[in-house]
Amino acid sequence: MIKKPRMVQISEIVQESKDVKTFTFNINSILNNYSIQYQDPTPGEFLMVWVPGIDEIPMSLSGFNNNKDWSITVKKVGECTETLFNLEKSDLIGIRGPFGNGFQILEFNSNNQLNIVVGGGIGMAPLIPLISELIKLKIKIIVIEGVKSKEEIIFKKYLENYLIENETFYISTDDGSYGYKGFATDLFNSIIKKEIEKGNKINQVNSCGPEQMMYELFHICEKLNITFQGSLERMMRCGFGMCGLCVLDPSGIRVCREGPVLDSKILRTCTDFGKYNRDFSGKKNTI
Amino acid sequence: MSEFFKKIAEKPFILASGILGVSYSSMKRIFEGGAGAVVTKSIGPILREGYKNPSIIEILPGTFINSVGLANPGIDNFISEIKELKRNNITTIVSVFGDSIETYTQVAVKAQDAGADAIELNISCPHAEISIICQNKQLTYDYVAAVKKELKIPLIVKLSPNVTDIGEIALSAEKAGADAITAINTVNAMVIDIETQRPILSHGSGGLSGKAIHPIAVKKVFNLYKIVRIPIFGCGGVFTGEDAIEFFLAGASAVQIGSALYQDYNAITTIINIAKKYLEVHNYKSFSDIVGNAHGFETQEVPDF
Ligand SMILES: Cc1cc2nc3c(=O)[nH]c(=O)nc-3n(C[C@H](O)[C@H](O)[C@H](O)COP(=O)(O)OP(=O)(O)OC[C@H]3O[C@@H](n4cnc5c(N)ncnc54)[C@H](O)[C@@H]3O)c2cc1C
Ligand SMILES: Cc1cc2nc3c(=O)[nH]c(=O)nc-3n(C[C@H](O)[C@H](O)[C@H](O)COP(=O)(O)O)c2cc1C
Ligand code: FES
C-alpha cells in the first residue's frame, strides 16, 4: 500500500464521454523508488488522488493489470475533478492507497445462477474491474448501466466487446434517448422478473451509483432474499479509518475502511444508508 | 474524588480528541472496547470546514501528520451527538475551542448543558490560531479561569509540546482552576514532496502524532508530574500496552489513545488487556499503584529541562 502521496506520470488519457475521462498511470516507478510492498488491488478499492495546490479526493480504481498500470475514471463535477480533467499525458498526480475493501464475489458453478451488476453513471468505474473478475471466474452475469441520457453512456464499446457469450449488457436512459426508457431500478425489476420466470436464480447483485438507486436496489433484493453489495460514497479526509468523517450510524462502520463496498448484512444495520451523509465539517445532512 | 475521576480511575484509558470523534457511533464502539471515557472532536462556536486535503497522512509506519484545522459542525449541530452519547451511557468529555474567551465559555456551557461529563479545553492545536493561548501563561490563565467559572463539571486543559516551558503553562492552568491536564497535543511538523518540491499538507505544516512522538510525550509527562498536583492524562503514541504503562510510570493517572485506533475497533481492547497483564504479572492491584514509579531513581534530570 502507498501510504504517503507519491507522484505518478499519466501515461494515457481516454475521453469516455463529454464529462468523463479515464487516466492511466504505471506505478512501478513508485514501487521501485520507495521500496513499497505490492499487493494486487481488489475490484472496489479506491485511491486518494492528490492534485497539488487544489485538493485530494477519493477515486475508485477503474482498472489495473499485471503490468501495474492502474487507472481511474473521473467525472467532472467540481474544482478538483475539473483540474484533473484538464491534465495532459505526462502530467503528474499524487496517489496513495489502495484503501477500503473490495467486492466479495460469491462463487457458484451451476449455470442457471447469475450475478447482476448495476452501475449508475460514473458508478460504473469500480464495476469495470469487478466485471473482468467475474468473467475470469466464468460466472454468468448481466450488466445494467443506467444514465440520464445517451451522451452520458460510458464504457459501452468496452463492455460490448467484452461481454460476449454468457453475458448480457443493458442500458437504461431516464429520457429514453437510448435503450430502455426509465430508471436503472425499473429495468432491473423487469429483468429479474424475466430471469426468475426462466428458472434462473440471482445469486448476487453488485452495484455502485447514486445512493437512492442503491437504496432501492437493496430493498428489492431484500424482498427477494438476494445478497446485495453496494459501493458507498461519503466525505473522506484520511481514507484509512482515523478521522471518523465517513462513519455510518449507528454501527460506526467506516466507509473508507470497512467499506466502501458494504453488503446486505451491514446495510441492514445502517440507518444512514439512503438517508444521511456528512459534509466536510462533519455536519449531518439529509441526502 | 468526583464521580468523573472515579470513573477514570476505574478505567484509565480515554479516546483522544479528533480520532473517530465525529459521530457518537464510532465513539460508542471505542467506549464498548474498554475506554473509561471518550473525548469528542474539538467543537467550536460555529461550523468550520477545516483545511482541504491532503490533511491526514501516514508518513512513517504508525506516525501521522495532520492539519484537519479544527473542522467541526459547530456546537449547535453537535448537541445531538452529545445527547446520543449520553443516551448510551458513555462518559463523555467534550473538547472545546473558540475564538475568544466568550466563545470558549459559550461552547463549554452549551456542552455542559447537553450532558457532557467533563470539558477538555483545546488551546493547543498546532496548526490553528488558538495555539497562541497555550504558548502564553497569562492567556492560558485567563482562558482557563473564565471557562472554569461557568462550569460545574471538571475542566481538563490540553497542552502543547510546542513551547519553551510546558511546566509554566501547566502551573498556570492549575492555578486558574484546571482539574486535570492532558499532555500532549501534536508536535509541529512538516513533510515535503520532493517531486513537486512543495509541502504535502494543503495547509503547509501540521501536527505529528503516533509512534514517533511517544518518547516526547513521556518526557513531558515526566516533567509535569514533578510540578503539578492535578492529574495528568498522558497522550501521544500509545500503540501497545507497554506504551501505556510507560505513561503511568512517568506520572500519568490515565492515558489517552488516538492514532493507534485507526487500525480497527478492537485496537483499544488489545492495548488495555496487555497493560492489565503487566499489573497482574507484577502483582499490582490497579494502575494507580504504578503512577510515577519512574521517579524513584536518582538521575541527572534537571526538573524543568
Ligand atoms: C470511495 C469513493 C470512490 C469514488 N470514486 C469515484 C470515481 O471513480 N470517479 C469519480 O468521478 N468520482 C468518484 N468519487 C467521487 C469523487 O470523490 C468526487 O466527485 C470528488 O471528490 C469531487 O471533487 P471536486 O473538487 O471536483 O468537487 P467539489 O465541488 O469539491 O465536490 C463535489 C461533491 O463531491 C464530493 N466530494 C468532494 N470532496 C470529497 C471528499 N474529500 N471525499 C468524498 N467526497 C467528496 C461531495 O459529494 C461534494 O459535494 C468517489 C468517492 C468516493 C467516496
Ligand atoms: C487526525 C487527528 C485529529 C486531531 N484532532 C484534534 C482535535 O480536534 N483536538 C485536539 O485537542 N487534539 C486533536 N488531535 C490530537 C490528538 O488528540 C492527540 O493529542 C495526538 O494525536 C497525540 O496522540 P496519539 O499519538 O495517540 O494520536 C488530533 C490528532 C489527529 C491524528
Ligand atoms: S475518511 Fe477518515 S475515517 Fe474514513
> Mind listing the pLDDT tens digit for each residue in B35-64?
999 999 999 999 999 999 999 999 999 999
- The CA A271 to ligand 3 mean position distance, Å, reads 18
Q: Convert the pLDDT of each residue in B201-212 to its tens digit.
A: 999 999 999 999
Question: Which of B22, B81, B211 to mutate against chain A (most A CBs within 10 Å)?
Answer: B22
DSSP labels for B16-83? PTTSS-SSHHHHHHHHHTT-SEEEPPPB-SS-B--PPSS-EEEEETTEEEE---S-B--HHHHHHHHH
- pLDDT over 80 (residue B5): yes
Q: What is the pLDDT of residue A85?
A: 95
- Please, which contacts does A184-190 make with residues 24 or more away whose CB atoms are closer than 8 Å? A184/A118, A184/A119, A184/A120, A184/A144, A184/A145, A184/A146, A184/A209, A184/A213, A185/A146, A185/A213, A185/A216, A185/A217, A185/A220, A187/A144, A187/A146, A188/A116, A188/A118, A188/A144, A188/A217, A188/A220, A189/A220
Q: What is the pLDDT of residue A93?
A: 98
- The CA B72 to ligand 1 mean position distance, Å, reads 20
Band (B297; pLDDT cuts 50, 70, 90):
confident
Q: Convert the pLDDT of each residue in A11-45 to its tens digit.
A: 999 999 999 999 999 999 999 999 998 999 999 99
Please state which CATH number belongs to domain A103-230.
Answer: 3.40.50.80
Q: Which of B39, B79, B121, B125 is catalytic?
A: B125
Q: Convert the pLDDT of each residue in B252-278 to its tens digit.
A: 999 999 999 999 999 999 999 999 999
When pLDDT is averaged across residues A187-197 and rounded to a whole number, the result is: 94
Q: What is the pLDDT of residue A4?
A: 97
Largest CA distance in chain A: 56
- Residues A283, B196: C-beta atoms closer than 8 Å: no
How is domain A2-99 classified at the CATH fold level? Elongation Factor Tu (Ef-tu); domain 3 (2.40.30)
Q: What is the pLDDT of residue B129?
A: 78
When pLDDT is averaged across residues A166-178 and rounded to a whole number, the result is: 90
- Residues A55, B53: C-beta atoms closer than 8 Å: yes
The better pLDDT of the pair A177, A107 is held by A177
Q: Is A88 helix (H, G, I), strand (E, B) or coil?
A: coil
Across the interface, which of B72, B261, B263 has its CB nearest the CB of A281?
Answer: B72
DSSP labels for chain B? --HHHHHHHHS-EEEPTTSS-SSHHHHHHHHHTT-SEEEPPPB-SS-B--PPSS-EEEEETTEEEE---S-B--HHHHHHHHHHHHHTT--EEEEE--SSHHHHHHHHHHHHHHT-SEEEEE---TTSGGGGGGG-HHHHHHHHHHHHHT-SS-EEEEE-SSSS-HHHHHHHHHHTT-SEEEE--PEEEE-EETTTTEESBTTBEEEEEEGGGHHHHHHHHHHHHHH--S-EEEES---SHHHHHHHHHHT-SEEEE-GGGGS-TTHHHHHHHHHHHHHHHTT-SSGGGGTTGGGSS-----TT-
Q: What is the pLDDT of residue A166?
A: 57
- pLDDT over 70 (residue A261): yes
CA distances from B283 to A212, B106, B247, B252 (A): 58, 46, 18, 19
Give, in words, the CATH class of B3-50+69-187+209-295: alpha beta
Cα(B287)–Cα(B290) distance, integer angstroms: 6
* Domain residue spans of chain A: 2-99, 103-230, 232-287
Cα(B275)–Cα(B249) distance, integer angstroms: 12
Q: Is the beta carbon of A14 within 6 A of some atom in ligand 2?
A: no
pLDDT averaged over every residue in chain B: 95
Cα(A229)–Cα(B191) distance, integer angstroms: 38
Q: Is the beta carbon of A241 within 6 A of some atom in ligand 3?
A: yes
B252/chain A closest Cα distance in angstroms: 24
Q: What is the pLDDT of residue A160?
A: 87
Omega prior to A98 cis, within 30 of 0: yes
B292/chain A closest Cα distance in angstroms: 31
B292 neighbors B251 (Cβ within 8 angstroms): yes
Q: Convert the pLDDT of each residue in A220-235 to its tens digit.
A: 999 999 999 999 999 9
Q: Cell 455536519 maps to which residue? A: A283
With a pLDDT cut of 90, the percent of chain A lying above it is: 88
With a pLDDT cut of 90, the percent of chain B lying above it is: 92
Any A CB within 8 A of B192 CB: no
When pLDDT is averaged across residues A108-121 and rounded to a whole number, the result is: 85
Band (A113; pLDDT cuts 50, 70, 90):
confident
The closest alpha carbon to B40, from B114, B134, B135, B102, belongs to B114
Q: Is the beta carbon of A242 within 6 A of some atom in ligand 3?
A: yes
When pLDDT is averaged across residues B210-231 and rounded to a whole number, the result is: 97
When pLDDT is averaged across residues A194-216 and rounded to a whole number, the result is: 94
Q: What is the pLDDT of residue B125?
A: 75
Q: What is the pLDDT of residue B304?
A: 53
Q: Convert the pLDDT of each residue in B101-117 to its tens digit.
A: 999 999 999 999 999 99
Band (B303; pLDDT cuts 50, 70, 90):
low
When pLDDT is averaged across residues B162-190 and rounded to a whole number, the result is: 96
Residues of chain A in contact with residue B193, where contact means CB-CB under 8 angstroms, are 5, 7, 52, 94
Across the interface, which of B22, B49, B54 has its CB nearest the CB of A244?
Answer: B22
With a pLDDT cut of 70, the percent of chain B lying above it is: 98
- pLDDT over 90 (residue B127): no
Which of A53-67, A150-164, A216-230 is predicted least confidently? A150-164
